[in-house]
Amino acid sequence: MDKLPDTLARKLTRLGSKLIDQQRGRVLVQPTEDADGFWFGGGNCVRDPRDGSLLLIGRYRDAGDSRSGVSAGTRGRELALFRSTDNGRSFNKIRCWNKSDLYCGSTVLSIEGSALKVNKRRIEILVSTEKVHTYPPEVTGFQKPGTGLWSIDTFGAANPDRLNPQESIAPLLASDDPAYLHLKDPNLSPGLHRGQSLLLYCAHPYSWSSSTSGSAALSAQSCRSDGHDIFPRGSTWDVAASRITCRLPVPKVGAFAKLPSLSLYFYDGAECLRQLDAHKKAVDRPRGYSCEELGGLTYGFDREFPAQHRLSRLEPLFVSPEGTGASRYVSVLSEADGGLFATWERSTPTRSQPLFGHRLNAARVTSILT
């Protein structure tokens, strides 16, 4: 497996750190309440080729956690589409869909990660939802009351005004394997093969004890999974979770201009998927727990996908300086002019998690990678 010299690996780490800048990032979308357990994010931003505006997708999530017991709470309440006509300085909600709107064969209990794809002819939305469904017979006894199964659906239309999931929503990806029973949090990037997009997603077992990353080749005709565990979990801060949220093809500038094509992967990790209290007399640090992951970074040569090298092997790279430390769901838009626009969800002093954004222009990207 090809590996970069340390000097180039450090440039990639610096690019990630300057892009996901916790101090310079601005709040783009607030959650429904400024309180613990209320979030907005889990989506991506794209440039609309028809008018040059920015479109942003994400979900509003309210307090509640079905994994901790029988009181699930509201949790993922709404999928929302926003538009910016001032290059990302502000976003206005233009469409939204609640749980009943996203019905696809079974009642929706919660909404999570989503992905947006737009071209001149069509807009497509991928969304993960938890639906009323019984666990497979061999693990039925582990299912908590009021919970279901997570899967990924898709719907689309010619333009945002005509989006109507009740008319066009269809199943895209699901699993009946107890080891990878819940599939969610899709993200899309240019495919490694012509005519396809690369779909990356998160998988959880029936027990919710860990998370992995899966990949699929997505075309207009089909969605073919290549496996639900393509990225091994780490050995320290990310030993329980390794959810890839974004693939960013490394710009071919500076020291990377003549290298074979390679990509950065932003991922969310956690030490445990149950709450972990910091020891008051020992090391007090963000540890990542339950739904409150921290952020990491890897790279890999495209010809060797899915092989990757961790740039955050011993500790996370992206940690909020406030609240729980949670910093996750990174998504990066590569602009035609060479600039990069990143969005991510992170904790604040009230423990709410708004969507933050930060932009690097092309000159800055080139300077970092030179």
pLDDT-derived band at 70, boundaries 50, 70, 90: very low
> What percent of the chain stands above pLDDT 70?
94
pLDDT tens sequence across 200-232 = 999 999 998 899 999 999 987 789 899 999 999
Q: Tell which residue, 326, 290, 243, 241, has the closest CA to residue 64.
A: 290
Least confident of 14-18, 281-285, 317-321: 281-285
pLDDT-derived band at 294, boundaries 50, 70, 90: very high
Find the farthest-apart pair of alpha carbons in the chain and give their distance in angstroms, rounded: 59
- Give the residue carrying structure tokens 């990949």: 215
338 or 272: which carries more pLDDT confidence? 338
Contacts of 123 by beta carbon, 8 Å cutoff, 6+ apart: 55, 116, 117, 156, 157, 158, 159, 160, 163
| 3-state SS class at 70 | coil
Give the residue-averaged pLDDT of 183-199. Answer: 88
146 or 225: which carries more pLDDT confidence? 225
3-class SS string, 228-279: CCCCCCCCCCCCCEEEEEEEEECCCCHHHCCCCCEEEEEEEEECCCCCCCCC
Q: H-type helices in the chain, by residue range?
A: 6-19, 165-168, 362-369
Domain spans of the chain? 1-30+236-370, 43-230
pLDDT at 292: 75
Contacts of 315 by beta carbon, 8 Å cutoff, 6+ apart: 236, 237
Q: How far apart are CA 326 and CA 347, in angstroms?
A: 5
Q: How far apart are CA 219 and CA 208, in angstroms?
A: 30
| Average pLDDT of every residue of the chain | 92
Quick check: 9 pLDDT over 80? Answer: yes
pLDDT at 245: 97
The rounded radius of gyration (Å) of the Cα atoms in the chain is 19
Give the residue-averaged pLDDT of 282-305. Answer: 82
Quick check: 129 pLDDT over 70? Answer: yes
> What percent of the chain stands above pLDDT 90?
83
Name the fold adopted by 43-230. Tachylectin-2; Chain A (2.115.10)
Residue 295 in contact with residue 328, Cβ under 8 Å?
yes
Contacts of 343 by beta carbon, 8 Å cutoff, 6+ apart: 28, 41, 43, 44, 45, 56, 330, 331, 332, 333, 355, 356, 357
Q: Residue 145: is the preceding peptide bond cis (ω within 30°)?
A: no
| 3-state SS class at 133 | coil
Quick check: 195 pLDDT over 90? Answer: no
Contacts of 140 by beta carbon, 8 Å cutoff, 6+ apart: 134
Quick check: 327 pLDDT over 90? Answer: yes
pLDDT at 1: 72
pLDDT-derived band at 276, boundaries 50, 70, 90: low
pLDDT tens sequence across 160-171 = 999 999 999 999
pLDDT-derived band at 144, boundaries 50, 70, 90: confident
| 3-state SS class at 303 | helix
Quick check: 289 pLDDT over 70? Answer: no
Residue 270 in contact with residue 210, Cβ under 8 Å?
no
Quick check: 178 pLDDT over 70? Answer: yes
Residue 186 in contact with residue 192, Cβ under 8 Å?
no
* 73's tokens: 């709470």
